[in-house]
Amino acid sequence: MEYQKKTDELYRELSLYSRGTVLKDEPLKNHTYFKIGGPADILAEPEDTDDLKTVLKLIKKHGADCFVIGNGTNLLVSDAGYKGIIIKVGEKFNYFSRNENKVTAGAGTLLSVIAKYLAREGLAGFEFASGIPGYLGGAVYMNAGAYGGEMKDVVTSVKCMDMDGNVHEFSQKDMEFSYRHSKITDSDMIVLEAQLELNFGNKEEIMEIIRDLNEKRTSKQPLNLPSAGSTFKRPEGGYASKLIEDAGLKGLRYKGAMVSDKHSGFIVNYDNASCEDVLGLMRIVISTVYDKFGIILEPEIKIVGTKL
């Protein structure tokens, strides 16, 4: 009862003082590519940086738990939802500006939108990200990559906000980028924007590379079913998808979840899967691969509100 009172009061104050969207008991399946996830006590989508400060101030005042999401492309959320407040850094942070071969973009800008813009401007180096469905903020947070490119190759500086509302700027070196990891991954900071540095190139050639990569992605990945992208990190010296396939698990179904029969690196929501269905299948995959090859697969997807 005490917790509910605190949540109601936080919701009331957020509705009063935040200029953004504030929703109560919002189903998180509406905000994830997996189409899985129970309700968040509160979901707040701030209007801008100042509004984000206001939201964080109120969260601190009430001592509430919070978790930050972007486009939800890499998340598996508990069926029970999230006890606390979800902060969505979304389309309100969708902006970019250009100065020669440098582009500054907001955390809520789609990677595909940035890639198309850069191609039109004849700026090369971001083609690898054209088919990644997430926002820039999440991509920087986890040093997202594809087809031999990673965010660390193009990011020169990142602006973040800590939980006290202070803004920090980090250089590429400060960000400590490594495979699916950055300085932000180990902190509670929120990415606000990033500066990218590209190379001048030929528009037609850049567009051709993007078309080729998107064709590859469409032909090889199960884009027709909800998923959170690659389920497991690439183990040292190999690929998770090959290990899973060699273990005979391609196409394996567990309740509503399935190891994709198109690309075994993906677990897909095949038939109205629950979070527990996906976790159950992940456990089978991890234990089978370990038994056969002695390699422990680690999740690449972020699990929220529950544990593997």
- Length of the chain in terms of residues written: 308
Of 150, 104, 157, 100, give the one whose Cα is nearest residue 125: 150
Distance from C-alpha of 162 to C-alpha of 165, rounded to nearest angstrom = 5
Residue pair 86/40 in contact by the 8 Å Cβ criterion: yes
Residue tagged active-site, from 230, 241, 260, 264: 230
Catalytic residue among 180, 182, 260, 264: 180
- Is 300 in the active site? yes
The yes-or-no answer on residue 171 being catalytic is no
Indicate which residues carry an active-site annotation: 180, 230, 300
